[in-house]
Amino acid sequence: MSIAESIQSIGFLTEIRESSLVYPVIMTTHLACIAVFGGMILMTDLRLLGLAMTDRTVTSVVDQFRPWKRVGFVIMVTMGLLLATSEAEKYSGNPYFWAKMVCLALVGVHALIFRPRVYNNTATMDKAPSLPGVAKTAGALSLILWLSVLTMGRLIGYYEGPRNPQAYQTRQPAVQLTGLGRVSR
């Protein structure tokens, strides 16, 4: 049994996969978190670019959103893990899933680079006569990375497996992963 198979055969993950309701509910929670908490990421990025909330200091904007961005991130990752592990075989063979993971790893690299220089250094940003280049770079890269995460995440649902019909036939179709949002096609 492959690693992916053994992961998704864990009791409750099998139940998630086979339930016609639990899987979409987890997915809805994942998407609702994007809608509710994603705006905080976008507004922080836009503030760092000097495009939004410019009446306020960078410190005030970063501080207001930071705790809730963390809460949202934890819920989103938890739901994402449940989705991915309950369909481990499908996700592990899906190049868009791995592209999304790479983008998320780059989000981590972004934090390592810019947290000390920007997010934990907002007092310096506020004292500067104009927004420093490093703040704009952090905002722009964060925007690009998160939009890439979103795009790769959506494309996961469109990958139809390797172009080898025999390899595909041996798989058990559980919850329809491909073609989400395109019901009748």
Decide if residue 162 touches other proteins (CB under 8 A): no
Nearer to other proteins, 116 or 162 (CB): 162
Residue 173 binding other proteins, by CB under 8 A: no
Under rule CB under 8 A, residue 39 binds other proteins: yes
Q: Which of 70, 147, 168, 171 binds other proteins (CB under 8 A)?
A: 147
Contact 138/114 with Cβ under 8 angstroms?
yes
- Binding string, 10-29, against other proteins, x = CB under 8 A? ----------x---x--xx-
Total binding residues for other proteins by CB under 8 A?
A: 43
Give 24-62 as a DSSP string. HHHHHHHHHHHHHHHHHHHHHHHHHTTSS-TTS-HHHHH
97 belongs to the binding site for other proteins (CB under 8 A): no
For the chain, what's the residue count? 185
Nearer to other proteins, 45 or 89 (CB): 45
| Binding of residue 185 to other proteins (CB under 8 A) | yes
Of 155, 152, 17, nearest to 83 by C-alpha is 17
Residue pair 58/126 in contact (Cβ under 8 Å)? The answer is: yes
Nearer to other proteins, 13 or 40 (CB): 40
If one asks whether residue 46 binds other proteins (CB under 8 A), the answer comes out as yes
| Rounded Cα–Cα distance for residues 14 and 148 (Å) | 30
How far CA 17 is from CA of 22, 30, 76, 77, 87, in Å, comes to 8, 16, 18, 18, 7
The residues of the shown chain that bind other proteins, judged by CB under 8 A, are 20, 24, 27-28, 31-32, 34-43, 46, 52-53, 55-56, 60-61, 63-65, 67-68, 147, 150-151, 154-155, 157-158, 176, 179-185
